[in-house]
Structure 1
C-alpha cells in the first residue's frame, strides 16, 4: 500500500499511562524504542512488568465494572460505532472489487467433517494447485475435556481494554502456542494507529456468554503486531497476537461484598488453542466467529453482543478500492461492529470445535448498498503473519 494512499478508519484520543512501555523494530514509529531481539517487521508492546501491574489491571476490571461493561462499553474502536469504515458513508460503503475464488478443493474436507489434522495434511494450495510450504500450527485441545461442549469453540471470547479515556471490547480467540497463553485478534483491537496509542488494561475472557467468565480472565502481557499497522496504519496487517498471563477468576471474599482472585492456570490448558495456517489462497470453507453488537446502517439491530455468533461460507480474494485494505479475503456475512477480531477458522473439526486460524474479522461492508452489512473481510495471512505469531509465541509471561 503506497504511503500517500494510507488512511485510518477511526479517531481515538487520549494518552496512555507512562507505565506502559512501547518497544519496536520499526524506526519510523515516533513512539518506538529499538529493543534487542525483536525481529524486523514486528512491533512488541509490553503491558505488564510486575505483579503490581497485574493487580492494578485485575482491580480495574472488577466484577462490578465487567457487569457494567457488558451493556455500556462501545465495541471495536477501529471502526465507527455503526460498523462502517469512518472514511465511507454508511449508504455508500465501498464495494470490494471483482473477486476470483480459487478452487474449492480444500473446502470439501471441511464440509465432510474431516478432522482438522487430517485435512491440513494436504500439501496442495486450494487456489493455485501448487505445493504449499508455509508453516502450519496444529490446534490443541483443553486438558479438561469437559470444556468442549457443542459446536461453539470456547477458545473464542471477548477482549476488554482501554484506549485514551474510553473502554472498549472486541472479539478474539486463543491460539495454540509454545507458551500456552496466546490470543489472536484484530490489530485495531490492540492499537490505535492514528494516534499511536496502544491499548492498556487489556484482558481476554474466553467462552464469554451473556457476561459469564466460565474459563477465567487473562491479563495481557505483550501486544505483538506487524510494524506496518503500527507505523503506517496499513489494514492489510490488521491483526495482533497478544501474550497473556495465567488466568484468574473472581470469587467471593471473606467479607460481604468483597472479591478475591483465584488462579485457574494457562489459557490453553483451560480452553485449548486454534491452529494457524497462512498462504492458503481463497475458495476455502471458513467459519467466522464473533460477538456482533452494533446496528446496521439502517438502524436495525439483529445482535446484542452477548452471545457468540458465526457465519460459514467460501472465502473470496478481493481488492478494496478504499485503499484501507488493498488485498484481503472476504466472506458473505451480516456481522456488525463488535465482531472485530473474531477468528476465521478453516478445516473446522465439529467434534472438537477446533480448526486453523486463517483470518480475523476486520471490516464490515454493505456490498448491496441496502444499508445492511452483507460481507466481512480479513487481512490475507502470509509469511509475515506467521512471523508475528511466532515471535508472540516465544514471549513468556511470568507465572503466577
Structure 2
C-alpha cells in the first residue's frame, strides 16, 4: 500500500546518525503471568476495566507552550508502510471513519490503582506492536519503574474487548525518558502477546479439573433449607451418593474447631481445611487411615497463575504468617499453590454446608494484533506543519471543571501541526510539536497520523499525545503536544520491532507454558 506524500518502503533499520540509547522492560514474562493479567482485567464482567480512571493528570496544572524552534530532524526522512485496513469503495466520505487500530491501554500505577491511556496498533515484523506515550508504560509519578498489569484492548467499549485482550510482553522507550523523565522522548513501543478472549466457563469433574492446564477455580455454593430438607440433610444425601471423593464439602465456621476421631459420639463434621505444605506432606495417606468415611488424605494441591502484584502481596502475607500456601516465580510468571486436608472436627454452633463446583475457564485465541485490526504505518524525521489526525479517548475535565468527554468512545482532532517546535520547562521539553485540539487527558498516548486514508483507515503514526496545554489562559485545554519523531524514535522502534509474537493459549483454550 502506498499513501501519497510519503515513501512506503518498509525499512527494518531506519537510517539515523547513531544508535539511540533505549530501555527495555519486561511486563508479563511467560504465558501463565500474561493469562493472570488478562483475567485480572476481565474477571467479574470487566469490573477492573470499568473501575479504571484516566492517567493521573492534575487539570489545574495544565501548562503553556513556549516557542523554541529547536532541532528536529536528525537525518533522512523514512517510513514503514501500514498493513491491513478496511475494504470497500474508494469514494470520499464526509464523516471520519475511526481506525480499528486504536484502543485503550490499561495498567496499574505504583499505588495499585487501575489507570488507562490511549494507544494504537502499529506495523511491525511480527504484527505485535502498540504505540503509546512513554508515561503510559513507565510510572513517572511514582517508583519510576515500568507499570504492572499492562494490556491493550483495541476497540474497547464499556468493559468489552471485541477483538481480544493483548497483554504487554516488553516495553521499549528512550533511556532519557525512563531515567530522566525527559518528555521530548515521551513515547513507547510495547510488544504484546497474541490476543485472546475468555470464551465462557464449564463445570467439570474433579479429575478433569486437576488435568486442565488453563484457568480453573472452585465455586462454593452454600446449601439452604429447601423443600422440607435442611442443608445438613442435603449434604448428607450428597455425600452418601458420591462418597468421600464426591463434590460435597462442609465448612465449620468455628474459629478453632476441635479435631476428633471417626468414633466420636457427639456431633462431628468432616471438614476441608487449608494447611501448610509441610502439614500436607505429613498427613497420613488414605491407605493408612480411612475408616467410616474419615479421610486424612489431602486433596490435590491447586496451583494457579497470579499477577505480579498479587505475588508481592501474598509473599508479604506469607512472611507475616497470614498465608499458608506457597508463592513462587517460575515458568516466566507467578503462581500460588494452596494445600488442603479433610478431617473430623466437633460441630460448632454454626455450620454452613457447601457444594463445590469445579470450573474451568475456556479461552479462545484471537491471533496477532496486526492481523486482527491492522497496523498503522510509522514515519520519522518528517517536515513539521503537515496536517494530522490525532485520535484518543479523552475523559478528564478541563481546568474550569467542564467535562465534555466520557472516555467511553474515541474522539479526534484534525489540523496542521505548528511550523516550529515548543518547550515546557516543567517536563524538560525543548522541542515537542503542537496541534490545536481540545481533547483532555485520557487521550494521551493516542496516535498522531499523517496521510490518513479515510477508506483504508490507515496512515503513518508520526507522534503520540504527550501533554495538554491552555494557551489563551481561559482554563480550557486548547492545544496538545507530541514528541517529534526523529531518528531516536526510529531506533527505539527498531528494538521493539524484533520481538517475536508469543501465544498464551492453545487451540483447545488451555494455558501454554
TM-score range, shorter chain: 0.7 to 0.9
2:499 is the counterpart of 1:395 = yes
Q: Is the 8 A contact 2:164 2:366 kept in 1?
A: yes
Superposed, 1:207-226 pairs within 5 Å as: 207-226=155-174
Give SS of 1:307's match.
Answer: coil
CA distance in 1, matches of 2:424, 2:128: 37
Equivalent in the alignment of 1:197: 145
Deviation at 1:187, TM superposition (A): 0.3
1:64-143 equivalences in 2 (<5 Å):
64=44, 66-70=46-50, 72-77=51-56, 79-80=57-58, 82=59, 89-90=60-61, 93-98=62-67, 133-141=76-84
1:320 aligns with 2:423: yes
Q: Distance in 2 between matches of 1:258 and 1:76?
A: 34
Match of 1:57 among 37, 42, 65: 37
Would the aligned equivalents of 1:94 and 1:320 in 2 still touch at CA under 8 Å?
Answer: no
What's 1:262 paired with?
364
Runs (4 or more) in structure 1 with deviation over 6 Å come to: none
Out of 401, 406, 414, the residue aligned to residue 299 of structure 1 is 401
The structure with more strand, counted as a fraction of residues: 2
The answer to whether the aligner puts 1:385 opposite 2:497 as a matched pair is no
Contact 1:297 1:372 in 2 (8 A): yes
Q: 1:238 to 1:332 in 2, by over 3 A?
A: same
> Which of 274, 278, 284 does residue 380 from structure 2 map onto?
278
Q: Distance in 1 between matches of 2:164 and 2:151?
A: 10
Q: Is the 8 A contact 1:193 1:232 kept in 2?
A: no
Would you say 1:370 and 2:474 are equivalent positions? yes
Note the C-alpha offset of 1:150: 6.9
Deviation for aligned residue 1:368 = 1.1
Cα offset for 1:360? 0.3
Tell me the secondary structure at the aligned position of residue 176 of structure 2. Answer: helix
How large is the Cα RMSD of the aligned pairs? 2.6
Partner of 1:26: none
The whole-number CA distance in structure 2 between the counterparts of 1:321 and 1:182 is 29
CA distance in 1, matches of 2:54, 2:422: 26
Show CA shifts across 1:32-76 (max 9, x none): xxxxxxx75010011232221122212211242634432x32212
5+ unaligned residues in a row in structure 2: which ranges?
A: 1-18, 89-94, 204-356, 505-513
- Structure 1 equivalent of residue 115 of structure 2: 168
Structure-2 separation of matches of 1:329 and 1:153? 23
- Which residue in the other structure is 1:352 paired with? 456
Rounded to whole Å, the distance in 2 between the matches of 1:384 and 1:64 is: 42
Tell me, which stretches of 5 or more residues in structure 1 are unaligned? 1-38, 83-88, 101-126
1:137-187 Cα offsets, whole Å, 9 max, x none, are 001015x859xx971101000011112221111100000000100000000
Deviations 1:71-90 (A, max 9, x none): x322124x33x3xxxxxx44
Partner in structure 1 of residue 269 of structure 2: none
TM norm structure 1 = 0.75
Length, aligned pairs only = 322
Deviation, structure 1 residue 97: 2.2
**Are the aligned partners of 2:127 and 2:501 in contact in 1 as well (CA < 8 Å)?**
no
Measure how far apart 1:274 and its partner are.
Answer: 0.4
SS at match of 2:430: coil
* 1:270 partner SS: helix
Q: Report the Cα distance in structure 1 between the residues aligned to 2:388 and 2:195, rounded to whole angstroms.
A: 29
1:46 aligns with 2:26: yes
Q: Assess, with a 3 A threshold, how the Cα gap between structure 1 residues 394 and 157 changes in structure 2: closer, same or farther.
A: same
Q: Classify the secondary structure of the residue corresponding to 1:198.
A: coil
Do the aligned partners of 2:386 and 2:417 also contact (CA within 8 Å) in 1? yes
Q: Greater relative contact order (Cα 8 A, min sep 6): structure 1 or 2?
A: 2
Q: Which moved more, 1:149-158 or 1:224-233?
A: 149-158
Q: Which has the larger radius of gyration?
A: 2
CA distance in 2, matches of 1:94, 1:204: 28
